[in-house]
Structure 1
Amino acid sequence: MKKYVFLLVGIMLWAFSAKAQKDQYMVLEFVKVESDQLFDYIEFKDLMEKVYRQALNDNQITGWDFWALQSGASHSDFQYIMITYYDDPVKMMDGLDETKMIEYTKIAYPHLNDAQVVKLFENSLSMREMPMRLYMREIVKTEDDFHMRPGVLASFDLMKAKEGNFAAYEKAEEEVFKPIHQKRIEQGLMGHWSLLRTALPLGTEAKSTHLTLNMYKDYMQFFNAQAYEDLDQTEADRRAVNEGLNSREQKWVYLATLENVVR
């Protein structure tokens, strides 16, 4: 009997481990809204939270975030970043088409008739532009129990690995920078860190190859992290950091606040 109990426990632990290590795919959409339509769009993104929750319930996505840009770009470029999470690359590439979105809206808002739902989407599409969309896969992340909630702060650091240094850059992120971020998390100076690799667009002309996400529970934690200096860092550590930095170009850094989240 004990043998079967141990076998059952072993299967449960394996299943949990497999689930924990499951790949995550993300679509980042950078949204531009005209200044005279910002108030209407704020109402729209609250509606979208309910729609994406229906998509989560239908196992089409694993999550959705809506971020408001704080700094890092002109507001003439875009003001928001939407992230949709998937557990499968095919689902990521297929996305949620308009038919599905309308179906989920009907479920979330049963008091709206078909014509009202269609009109709602026509209005939302007319008030926004998406100057950039990135398809990405998470390849490295810290071990943490960070809780995604409105008010969380994140920096989106877009990187481009230098030609011939793609593998060296990813190795540096995993072996040099991840331990640094992990240490900061354990010291309460950070919430979460992850490295994403761009799936599309591809090729030497692509503007970026990777993105790092640095998350903080609030501005206090963010500013404490900026003021922190690791006095225990050795000369060898500094050389490794500099080699890692030299393997890529930092294209831009955007600071944003989480406004809506679906998990």
Structure 2
Amino acid sequence: MMQKAMLLALSMVFVFGALPMMGNAQDQPSLYGVIDFMKVKQGNEANYVDVEKTVWKPIHQERINQGEIVGWVLYGVRYAGADDEYNYVTVALFDDPAKLEHTFSVDVEKVHPGKDLDALFQRTMESRQLVRQNLIRRVDAVYPEGGPGEFKYIQVNYMKVKPGEGGAYVDNELTVWKPVHQELINAGTRAGWSLWQGVYPFGTNMPYDYVTVDYFADFSKLGAADTEAAFNKAHAGKDMDKLFAETMNSRSHVRAELWEVLDSVWKE
């Protein structure tokens, strides 16, 4: 019984990343991401991925069936080495902030009948280290006409907003860059774009306040975008240098990471 409780508690760790684009902010439901940042030792990658796919993916599918979450994604962080803080990420997506209070009510024995829950728990703990967990909230998103774009990779851009510039930063993303990303989507070099705000943890010592996510259908689309052409199309006749300066004055682009989708389950 103790081990079952521990297994249930373990499953409550999630947040971030791959999100199906569900339209523009004004006509889309709330979306929150719980992201778990994982460190997996070299040589144990295949075992960890198998744990996520065979043990936890069915559990997350049951959570979707029960209406707890709307999606779950397993990412591998590309170009990560032994000295990096994390090399895998899982993200669970919630469409209602009220559901974040009680995030797990799945009967694991029902999902894995006859399985040794102690062994499942032990295997999970030995497969990776949970480095940290974040909660984020989607501010806005755009996607291809007709529905969410299929994506295999996402570029995660961490943004640190300058003091007092939070409103200016969000306004800049929505009025300057969102139309540009729409043009990139129209050109077929993006599968979507979204803007997320950090909820927890927060504070002056956090390395980022917001995250933007660029979605790509495949590896060949990375670096294929003609951003200048998209910018000129979205803001014809406007001063590009001035708009770029407004962007730079509102935030710092802390870092960008490339995440590969390894597996996922979504609400149909």
TM-score, with length taken from structure 2: 0.80
Which residue in the other structure is 2:97 paired with? 89
Letter in 2 for 1:247: S
Check whether the contact 2:198–2:211 (CA below 8 A) recurs between aligned residues.
yes
- Cα distance, 1:18 vs structure 2: 11
Deviations along 1:112-142, one digit per CA (max 9) or x if unpaired, are: 33xx123212220233112232100001111
Check whether the contact 2:72–2:91 (CA below 8 A) recurs between aligned residues.
yes
User: What is the alpha-carbon distance in structure 1 between the residues aligned to residue 33 and residue 73 of structure 2?
Assistant: 11
Distance 1:142 1:238, change over 3 A: farther
SS in 1 for 2:69: coil
> Bigger shift: 118-127 or 40-49?
118-127
Which residue in the other structure is 1:163 paired with? 163
SS in 1 for 2:224: helix
Deviations along 1:155-208, one digit per CA (max 9) or x if unpaired, are: 111111111111100110111010000110011110110000011112222221
Which residue in the other structure is 1:49 paired with? 57
SS in 2 for 1:202: coil
Which residue in the other structure is 2:210 paired with? 210
SS in 2 for 1:36: coil
Letter in 1 for 2:62: Q
Higher helix fraction (1 or 2): 1
Which residue in the other structure is 2:148 paired with? 146
Q: Which has the larger radius of gyration?
A: 1
CA RMSD across the alignment: 2.3
Which residue in the other structure is 2:73 paired with? 65
User: What is the alpha-carbon distance in structure 1 between the residues aligned to residue 103 and residue 126 of structure 2?
Assistant: 20
Which residue in the other structure is 1:13 paired with? none
SS in 2 for 1:137: strand
> Bigger shift: 17-26 or 33-42?
17-26
User: What is the alpha-carbon distance in structure 1 between the residues aligned to residue 25 and residue 33 of structure 2?
Assistant: 19
Matched, 1:21 2:24: no
SS in 2 for 1:35: coil
Which residue in the other structure is 1:246 paired with? 249
User: What is the alpha-carbon distance in structure 2 between the residues aligned to residue 206 and residue 94 of structure 1?
Assistant: 26
Letter in 1 for 2:50: E
Which residue in the other structure is 1:184 paired with? 184
2:41 to 23, 34, 58: 34
Letter in 2 for 1:198: G
Matched pairs, number: 235
Letter in 1 for 2:127: M
Deviations along 1:206-243, one digit per CA (max 9) or x if unpaired, are: 22110111100001122312x55428365523311321
Letter in 2 for 1:52: H
Letter in 1 for 2:203: G
Deviations along 1:83-131, one digit per CA (max 9) or x if unpaired, are: 10001223235433xxx46x23x33332x33xx1232122202331122
Distance 1:19 1:157, change over 3 A: closer
User: What is the alpha-carbon distance in structure 2 between the residues aligned to residue 82 and residue 213 of structure 1?
Assistant: 15
Which residue in the other structure is 1:129 paired with? 129
SS in 2 for 1:224: coil
User: What is the alpha-carbon distance in structure 2 between the residues aligned to residue 134 and residue 58 of structure 1?
Assistant: 23
User: What is the alpha-carbon distance in structure 2 between the residues aligned to residue 18 and residue 138 of structure 1?
Assistant: 8
